[in-house]
Structure 1
Amino acid sequence: MDLVLKEENGFKFIDEGEGEVLLLLHGLMGALSNWEHVIEKFRHKYRVVIPMLPIYDLPLLTTGVKSLSKYVNKFINYKKFDKVILLGNSLGGHVGLIYALAHPEHVKAMVLTGSSGLYENAFGGSFPRRENYDFVKEKVEFTFYDPATATKELVDEVFETINDRNRVIRILAMAKSAIRHNMAKEVHKITVPVSLIWGKNDKITPPDVAVEFSQLLPNSELHWIDKCGHAAMMERPHEFNELLEPFLEKLK
C-alpha cells in the first residue's frame, strides 16, 4: 500500500482510518513503512497514526529518548487525542514507556515488540566500517532471524543514513541515550494493560529482556513468535497481527 505522509504544524505523520487511536512509534533505524502490515490490517477498525520521530532534527545536545517522548507529547496534544493505544518497536517502545510514565492519563494500553529500555545489543558504539556496504548489510541482517528480510531497499536506506555525517552522529547519540536511560526501576509504575510480542530469536533485545519486562510490568502478557528477530511486525506480520488483534479486542 502507498502510505501518504501528511505535514501539519511542523509534524510529519501517517494518519489512516477512523476510530480509536493506535499510535505507532518506529525504532532508531526504522522507517514508517515498517508498520505497513499493521496499518493495512487495522485501519478499517481503528485510526492508525504514525508520527515521524525527529531523530535527525534535534539539536545534538538534546538528542535523546526523553526529547522524543516530549515530541510525542506535543504531537498528541496538537492532535487533541484523549487516550491512545501505544505500539512501539525498539527505540519506539522505549519512547512509549517514558511517555506512559509521564502522561498516564493519555495511555489506554501498550504493545511492545523488541523494545529497548532495559538492555539492548545495538549496532555498537560506532560504525567502524560504515563505508563498507557488505558490513552494513551484515548489520541489517543481524536485526532479523531470516537474513532475506533485509531487502536491498532496506540495506540501501540504512547505508545511505549512516553515511550521512549529520545523521550518524545523532544515531550514536540517541543509541547512547537509550542505553543510559535504563527503566528497570520505573516501569512497575505503568499499570495499563501491556502486550509484549517478542521474536524468540531477537538478538538485539534478546528473549530475557521480554521476560524481565513481563516480570516488571504489573499488567502485562507475553507472547512469543518463533523464527523471528527484532522487528516482528516486519518479519512475521501475520503472526504479529494475529497476536495483536485479540489484545485490542479485549480493550473494548
Structure 2
Amino acid sequence: MDVSYEGTKREIATDKGVLRYHEAGEGPPLILLHGSGIGVSGWRNYRSNLATFAQHFHCYVLEFPGFGISDPVDGHPVVTAGSSVTRFMNALNIESAAMIGNSMGGVVGSNVAMRHPERVKKLVTIGGVGPNIFSQNPSEGTRLLQEFADGPTREKLIRWLRCMVHDPGIITEERIEERWESAKDPESHKSLSAMYGSKAFAAQQKMTSESNRPPYWSMMHGVQCPTLLTWGLDDRQCPPDMPMIPLRLIPNAELHIFPNCGHWVMVEAKEAFERVTLEFLLR
C-alpha cells in the first residue's frame, strides 16, 4: 500500500500564515511531527509510515514553519513549531490527538503536552528528548550539522546523512539529491543556522546558562499522557543515554530501543517501529 505525495497534500490558513500538511486515513486523530536537520520535512520523515498508520488513524503530517514548506514566522524554530501545533489543531477543530514526534518533533510534542495537557492523548517520541548523560555533547551528528550550517557543501551533507543510520546502504543517491535540493531553500537553511550554526549555538548555550529557566527535560514530569520513547541503539545524533531522565520523570513512560538502528528509527526499523507504536497507540 502506497500513499502518493499529491494525493495527501493539504494546506490551511491561520492567523500566522498558511500551514501545509499531509492527510490520510480515518479514525481518531494522529499528528506526526517532524525533526530538524538538513533538507528535512514532515513528508520525508513519515512518507513510508503514513499508509500503515492511516489504516487505524486520521493522520496529519504537519510541516513546521521555517523549513521551506509552510509559511515562515519569526522566532526560534523549536518555539514556532510548538505554537504551530496548537494553531493547526485550532484551525482544524482538533480538540486532542495522539502525537508522534521525531527528534525535534519529540521535543515539540513534549512541550505541547506539558503546556496543553488536554491536547495530547498519547505521545510517541523518536530519539531527541532528554539530556546527554554519558555521551559527548554536542554529539557527532550535531557537530556535523554545525559544520554544514556554517558552510554548506554536498560532501558535508553526505557525512551527516551517513551519521543518521546504522546501515549506510539506506543513503542512496536519490536521498542525497533530494536533501541537497531542499537544503538550498533560504528559509530552510535559515532555520538550520538558527538551531545549529556555531554563532547561534554558542549564543543559545550562553543564554541557557545565564537564564533562571530550567531546561525543558527537567520539567518532563509535566507530561501526563502515556508516553512511548523509541530509540535506535546506534543513534549518533541523539545517543541512547538521553532517554534515561525522561523515562524516570514522565509518570507513565516506557522505552523501546531498536538494535542495529540509528537516528531514523521510523525508516531503518520501519516494520518493528510501526508494530510497537501501533500496539502502544491502540492499547
User: TM-score by structure 2 length?
Assistant: 0.80
- 1:82 is matched with 95
**Greater alpha carbon shift after TM alignment, 116-125 vs 89-98:** 116-125
- Compared CA separation, residues 191 and 166, structure 1 to 2 (3 A): closer
Cα separation, 1, equivalents of 2:234 and 2:113: 27
Amino acid at match of 1:89: N
- Deviation of 1:232 after TM superposition, in Å, equals 0.5
- 1:196 is matched with 229
Q: Pairwise mapping of residues 134-213 of structure 1 onto structure 2 (< 5 A)? A: 134-175=155-196, 176=201, 182-213=215-246
- Compared CA separation, residues 139 and 33, structure 1 to 2 (3 A): closer
Kindly report structure 1 stretches of 4+ aligned residues shifted beyond 6 Å: none
Amino acid at match of 1:130: P
Cα separation, 2, equivalents of 1:73 and 1:164: 26
| Residue 27 (str. 1) matches residue 35 (str. 2) | yes
| Residue 58 (str. 1) matches residue 57 (str. 2) | no
- 1:130 is matched with 152
| Residue 95 (str. 1) matches residue 108 (str. 2) | yes
| Residue 247 (str. 1) matches residue 280 (str. 2) | yes
- Compared CA separation, residues 162 and 11, structure 1 to 2 (3 A): closer
Amino acid at match of 1:96: G
- Compared CA separation, residues 244 and 68, structure 1 to 2 (3 A): same
| Residue 105 (str. 1) matches residue 122 (str. 2) | no
Total equivalences in the alignment: 248
Instruction: Specify which of 251, 263, 272 is matched with residue 230 of structure 1.
Output: 263
- Compared CA separation, residues 35 and 167, structure 1 to 2 (3 A): closer
- Deviation of 1:95 after TM superposition, in Å, equals 1.0
Say whether the 8 Å CA contact 1:91–1:178 is kept in structure 2: no
User: TM-score by structure 1 length?
Assistant: 0.90
- 2:252 is matched with 219
What is the aligned-residue identity percentage? 27
The answer for unaligned runs of 5 or more in structure 1 is none
Alpha-carbon RMSD:
2.2
Amino acid at match of 2:229: L
| Residue 38 (str. 1) matches residue 60 (str. 2) | no
Say whether the 8 Å CA contact 1:11–1:52 is kept in structure 2: yes
Amino acid at match of 2:64: L
- Deviation of 1:165 after TM superposition, in Å, equals 4.5
